[in-house]
Amino acid sequence: MRPELLNPLFAEVTSLKGVGPALAKPLERLKLSRVADVAFHLPTGWVDRLKRNELMEQDAGRVIAIPLTAVDYRVSAGRGPTRVRAADKHGNIVNLTYFGGSSGWVKKLFPLGETRLVSGKLETYGQELQIVHPDHVLPEAEADSLPEREAIYPLSEGLTSRRVGQLAAQAIERAPDLPEWIEPSLLSKHQWPAWKEALARIHADPADAKARERLAYDEVFANQLALLLVRGEARARKGRALTGDGRLRAKLDLPYKPTGAQSRTIGEIEGDMAQTQPMLRLLQGDVGSGKTLVALMALLIAVEGGAQGALLAPTEILARQHYATLQRQLAGTGVTVAALTGRDKGRVREGVLMGLADGSIDILVGTHAIFQEAVAYRDLGLVVVDEQHRFGVAQRMMLQAKAARPPHLLVMTATPIPRTLTLAQYGEMDVSRLDEMPPGREPIETVVMSEDKLDAVVDGLARHLSAGKQAYWVCPLVEESEKSDLAAAEARAEALRQRFGDKVALVHGRMKPLEKDAVMAEFAAARAGVLVATTVIEVGVDVPNATLIVIEAADRFGLAQLHQLRGRVGRGGGKSVCLLLRGNSLSETSRARLALMRESNDGFRIAEEDLRLRGGGELLGTRQSGEAVFRLATPEMLGELLPVANADARLLVDRDGGLEGPRGQAARVALYLFERDAGVGRLRSG
């Protein structure tokens, strides 16, 4: 149960004064639904207000504060703006422009002939100066109440920074003093303020680095503590030791030798599975590094040990692909594999369920359907989760909680994640890396081209297709809207159809899964030559004959995403090419990022460099990283804060694993505050 102390913070945002239906919408768009969300909606910058006595054109574009006298009003007919013409003491004129308000209100705010201190952003409008919606119009006597520095917040339409600042002030007023969860020596070493003080300070002065750091630290600390607790909990439960004797693995007829990285990883997994503590292991390996073989070996260890194994894929089509691969590889071993997806109904499904229950099925491959209520295993010993960036801590825990004897867990991801972020997202897991590619792989050639050369690209595509090869064409990411993504993809598909007719297929995120699968199957069977896609091209889909990928507006993609998309090609059909089309006005950073793509095929290096290049400002949890992990800590801060938080959380858990002492109790508050409380309920003593 959440401590009562936190209730004021978890109250609906509509409980704040002045938040009615009109504000609720824009707040919702920013996902600010509770008081705490507003408190944690931190300013990203600030303006310094210039004190002036004279209007000057060279101040245009800046925020000024200046005494002005109202000279006359210009009220437009209908819904037009109301303007106050106001003069400085030299008689220079500025128009104060108000849209949408009643002129009566404006006249009351700034009566004719009176002098007020006016603040806002000065602009030139035609030959005149203007301030649109001044943010302050104060009696001169109140000049001192005008702060020199004002916070700027991330906004959505219908909100102003000033309004958000006022809401934040209310939120802080309601915020309780919280017990201190940070180790005292750490607190004094960094000179961090107490929680509530930090909150007040950052909203008052967005440049306050100590306050910002403290709040970010809290979030990272809560994250690390939660993961440690989850890990402790999972480890405390008794699973089943599975030792393979190698008899099934020996029967495999592999056309190649495992790479060193594969052998090492399989060894690590074998060691884990031989323990009664359930394995919690993350396998990171770039696209094409051979994760499937590792999964297969782990599954065989489970079967050799007398248990069953399950392989979970994120999509229907990937599940089918894995099923086909495993069936082929396991032919002649006597191991039974079955598939189960949402699409299987009736007798097929019944048959699989029976086989699982009586143990005649050794390995089950499928989508989430394999963990539905009705699915009962005789003895599930291992779960392998493939390509699951959509598979968060909560799901991982549920999986473990469901079984009477928790199965060993292997999570495989091809998304290159920098080390620091791995600790944040998968901190409860041990990590193996496949950092070596199978031999003989020809590196993908990456070329960056201006989008002005589109015609040449299409000519190249024509040559590629007439040589009997296939290609992907990925369309740009347009803002955050799926709708406009789709429009762009549809337009591109149409344009390509003018030239290539029905060789062009289109797949996008708004299609139903069945439709998507059908198009992918068309492409896999080479009935389509070009697959135009929004970013939904299924991760892991294997079409070796597709050796060209064109990515439009590549500069708008995250590097990890570009790298993943590029991994669709280079799957064994000879030389592959990735064409990155770029706009013409690129920032230095965009240039550097695309150059890095051209230069490197190493997902891990790309991830680390991308983190460095993007630097601060951009929070995690954007499209690139898949799931939002932090809202206060920037990637830049993580490098510093994560190791500290990890050590601090470890120390606390070592001393007080039940979080019973005063610091432990305070740490519980932090877990609830950041909604990382999944771990708390599971504390043995709590």
- Residues of the shown chain interacting with Mg ion in the complex, contacts defined by CB under 5 A: 540
Contacts of 675 (CB under 8 A, 6+ apart): none
- The closest of 684, 667, 661, 642 to 230, measured between CA atoms, is 684
Q: Which of 81, 193, 278, 290 binds ligand ADP (CB under 6 A)?
A: 290
Positions in 436-495 near ligand ADP (CB under 6 A)? 438
Q: Which does 342 bind (CB under 5 to 8 A by kind): Mg ion, ligand ADP, none?
A: none
Q: Is residue 67 a contact residue for ligand ADP (CB under 6 A)?
A: no
Beta strands in 362-439 (DSSP E): 363-366, 380-386, 408-413, 430-434
- Interior angle at CA 671, CA 168 and CA 645, nearest 5: 95
Cα separation, 128 vs 60, whole angstroms: 11
- Interior angle at CA 294, CA 314 and CA 288, nearest 5: 70
- The closest of 563, 625, 213, 647 to 421, measured between CA atoms, is 625
Q: Which does 259 bind (CB under 5 to 8 A by kind): ligand ADP, Mg ion, none?
A: ligand ADP
On whether the CB atoms of residues 546 and 471 are closer than 8 A, the answer is yes
> 407 in helix, strand or coil?
coil
Q: How far is the CB of 667 from Mg ion (least distance, A)?
A: 39
**How many residues contact ligand ADP, by CB under 6 A?**
16
- The closest of 306, 288, 253, 222 to 630, measured between CA atoms, is 222
Q: For the packed helices 559-566 and 603-614, what is the interaxial angle rounded to 10 degrees?
A: 160
> Which stretch, 32-40, 171-179, 284-292, 651-659, contacts ligand ADP (CB under 6 A)?
284-292
Q: Which is nearer to Mg ion, 131 or 539 (CB)?
A: 539
Q: Is residue 547 a contact residue for ligand ADP (CB under 6 A)?
A: no
Q: Which does 256 bind (CB under 5 to 8 A by kind): Mg ion, ligand ADP, none?
A: ligand ADP
Q: Which of 66, 301, 414, 632 binds ligand ADP (CB under 6 A)?
A: 414
Q: Which of 142, 251, 256, 595 binds ligand ADP (CB under 6 A)?
A: 256
Q: Is residue 603 a contact residue for ligand ADP (CB under 6 A)?
A: no
User: Residue 199: how many CA atoms within 13 Å on its side-chain side?
Assistant: 24
- The closest of 145, 150, 162 to 64, measured between CA atoms, is 150
Contacts of 667 (CB under 8 A, 6+ apart): 181, 221, 225, 652, 659
Positions in 417-446 near ligand ADP (CB under 6 A)? 438
> Which stretch, 102-110, 281-289, 332-340, 498-506, contacts ligand ADP (CB under 6 A)?
281-289
Q: Which does 663 bind (CB under 5 to 8 A by kind): Mg ion, ligand ADP, none?
A: none
Q: Which is nearer to ligand ADP, 161 or 265 (CB)?
A: 265
Q: How far is the CB of 318 from Mg ion (least distance, A)?
A: 8
Q: Which does 290 bind (CB under 5 to 8 A by kind): Mg ion, ligand ADP, none?
A: ligand ADP
Q: Which is nearer to Mg ion, 204 or 287 (CB)?
A: 287
User: Residue 451: how many CA atoms within 13 Å on its side-chain side?
Assistant: 15
Positions in 561-600 near ligand ADP (CB under 6 A)? 572
Q: How far is the CB of 295 from ligand ADP (least distance, A)?
A: 8
Residues at the interface with ligand ADP (CB under 6 A): 256-259, 262, 285, 287-293, 414, 438, 572
